[in-house]
Chains A and B, each alone.
Chain A
Amino acid sequence: MEDFAEMSRLLADLEENCLISLVENRLKAGDDPMDIIDACRKGMQIVGERFESKQYFVSDLVMSGEIFSRAMALVGPHLKSNGSRPAAKVVVGTALGDIHDIGKNIVVNMLRCNGFEVFDLGVDVPPQRFVDMVRETGATIVGISALLTVAFPTMKETIQAFVDAGLRDKIKIMVGGGPVDESVSKKVGADAYGGDAVEAVRLAQSFTEVRAG
């Protein structure tokens, strides 16, 4: 139990090598991999809280995501099933006409670290690709990113494509990226705007009422 609290702390403090050693040791000792995952998720929650209170910044989020992924790669082979909780599905991509992906990639990582199943469509994504992926996966959340203002119209077209496909009331759509703000979110017809990756996670959690940990 103490080890799991320590695991959460090490992840929250971004102590990569110590955390990885501890995860390896606990796996060797035969601990339940799900307990390790839960401890790491708790660490990620603390990271998110520190980001929101401006103690942590994007570089810290990236580092925490990296450490979490390394820990999960160690835990993976020990899992007997995919875990007890079915993950909520999120489709994410950068709007058509825009090839920027750093913000989108951080959102994808943070969503995954928080237990979401993410389908990352990459950059310069045509509206129909978003619609097709939602149909294919049954995802209930869509995240659209843009760094360029020229992608505002294509964000709007993407949301319209969901309306035309009769899917708009079955999904929640969040938007984000450099020049995007509340007013952009309203004008393109999204449900919400997330200013950063942690807000995106919070939004996704509020949409699904699935709380990690």
Chain B
Amino acid sequence: MTTAGGVMCAEERLQATIRLEKTDKVPNCPSLGYYPATCAEITPKQFLFDRERADAAVEKVFRVCGGWDVMMGQRFDAVALPVIFPMKVRMPGVDLPEDSIHQLVEEEIMTVDDYDFIAEHGYGKFMSTYFSKIHPAIPPDQVPEMRARNLKAMKEDIDKWAERGVTTLIGGVSMEPFGRFSYMRSLAKFALDIYRIPDRVKAAVDACLPDAIAMAKNMVDFTGIRRVFIGNARSSATFISPKQYERFVLPYMEKLVEALVAENITPVFHFDSDWTPFLPFFKEYPKGRCVLELDGSTDIFKAKEILGGHMCLMGDVSASLLVLGTPEEVTDYCQKLIEVVGDGGGFIFSCGCEIPVNARPENVKAMVKAGNELGWYNRE
């Protein structure tokens, strides 16, 4: 609801922004990554494994930066990491130093024959055996419970912040399997598959659709936030050609988006790497029903030219600017983002991908402050 002073509540503002309607200001939604650990001077290991300290660390960033109106949702912790990434994960304090952030291992684990298995039996059934290959130490019967715990933690966070007037962007997850297979097969092997066995790859991609829809629906029904995160980098123009995109990715994505929108679910495309040549494809998706989140590699200003008035954009203060830049440089870039990409609405102000763990604190403050102070429409 809008208050007497004409200020929208956070959820109302976010929904209106996604629908490309006029709002009072751009939503400010920094994706925190491991930065809270840095801010609160705890290790990434403590951030992952000690929820109380992690909560306090997030609180500290919020307080120190002067707050914001939208939380990203689905943070990293020791329960979430194994269930959200389809790869081996090296964890701080387990197989990496305690002060390191988690890292994903690029390894050929999914086999060529697995494409056929997925095409025949679906993604869910495949994952029940694949999971043991990437996490042999986790008994398979614990996996549903881990997923449930992760979802419950997401819901608790959503409710906790909502009480304070801060809404949450992400209430669930769906997937784009072509990009995901690249991680599971390893990039080099996968690149060869799309030349050598394209039909088998395509059949497996298409067979993932029912599970991708069910996954999203189950999560948003539980959390109450009908927006799902679809992470991807490997289907970008950094890796594949427009022709490959049109053949392997676009038909699936059109069906997925259509099905999600029919369920009143907003896809949030968290698309890292360079998508610039593929931006015209995004015009095929329904107007005002999706969010495209960019990480600084795609030209977000070009995205505004192509998709402005059609799709809400989100981003994109880059990791390198937050690590190496000065607060003045950060503020200048944020101002440009808000003025150009935010022009006329349809823009969620954020960092690119996430705030890096070694971002300069004064830069993070400058970014959040810019979102809070420069993001107002029709205000001097």
Contacts and interface: CB of A to CB of B under 8 A. Distances in A.
B214 interface: no
Given A97-B100, A98-B103, A152 B188 contact: no
B9 to A, nearest CB: 35
Given A98-B103, A105-B188, A181-B320, A56 B241 contact: yes
Contacts of B195: 14, 16, 59, 63
B105 interface: yes
B192 interface: yes
Contact of B192 (A62, A100, A178): A62
Contacts of B191: 58-59, 62-63
Interface string A62-97: 110010000000000000000000000000000001
Contacts of B374: none
A150 interface: yes
Nearest to A152: B323
Given A59-B239, A60-B241, A105-B188, A149 B106 contact: no
A150 B100 contact: yes
Contacts of A97: 100
A46 interface: no
Contacts of B320: 149, 152, 179-181, 183-184
A16 B198 CA distance: 14
B106 A148 contact: no
Interface in A179-194: 179-181, 183-184, 187
Interface size class of A (residues with CB under 8 A): 20 to 34
Contacts of A184: 320, 324
Nearest to A65: B188
A99 interface: yes
Contacts of A98: 103
Contacts, number: 85
Contacts of B297: 178
Nearest to A61: B191
B187 A150 contact: no
Contacts of A55: 241
Given A57-B240, A62-B188, A101 B324 contact: no
Interface string A183-210: 1100100000000000000000000000
Contacts of A181: 320
A150 B239 CA distance: 24
Nearest to A180: B320
A187 B324 contact: yes
Contact of B106 (A16, A54, A59, A102): A102
Contacts of B106: 100-102
B241 A59 contact: yes
A149 B319 CA distance: 7
B74 interface: no
Interface in A44-60: 54-60
A109 to B, nearest CB: 8
Interface residues of B, number: 35
A153 B320 CA distance: 12
Interface string B293-330: 00001000000000000000000001110111100000
Contacts of A54: 277
Contacts of B105: 99
Given A16-B195, A101-B106, A187-B324, A149 B187 contact: no
B100 A57 contact: no
A16 B297 CA distance: 32
Given A102-B106, A187-B324, A149 B356 contact: yes
B295 to A, nearest CB: 9
B323 A149 contact: yes
Contacts of A179: 318-320, 323, 356
A131 to B, nearest CB: 22
Contacts of A66: 188, 192
B135 interface: no
B101 A152 contact: no
Nearest to B100: A97
B237 interface: yes
Given A101-B106, A149-B320, A58 B239 contact: yes
Given A54-B277, A57-B238, A57-B241, A63 B192 contact: yes
Nearest to B352: A179
Contacts of B324: 152, 183-184, 187
Given A148-B101, A149-B319, 13 more contacts: A14-B195, A57-B241, A57-B244, A58-B240, A59-B194, A62-B187, A62-B192, A99-B105, A149-B359, A152-B320, A152-B358, A178-B273, A184-B320
18 contacts: A57-B238, A57-B239, A57-B241, A58-B238, A59-B239, A60-B241, A63-B192, A63-B195, A98-B103, A99-B103, A101-B106, A149-B357, A149-B359, A152-B358, A179-B318, A180-B320, A183-B320, A187-B324
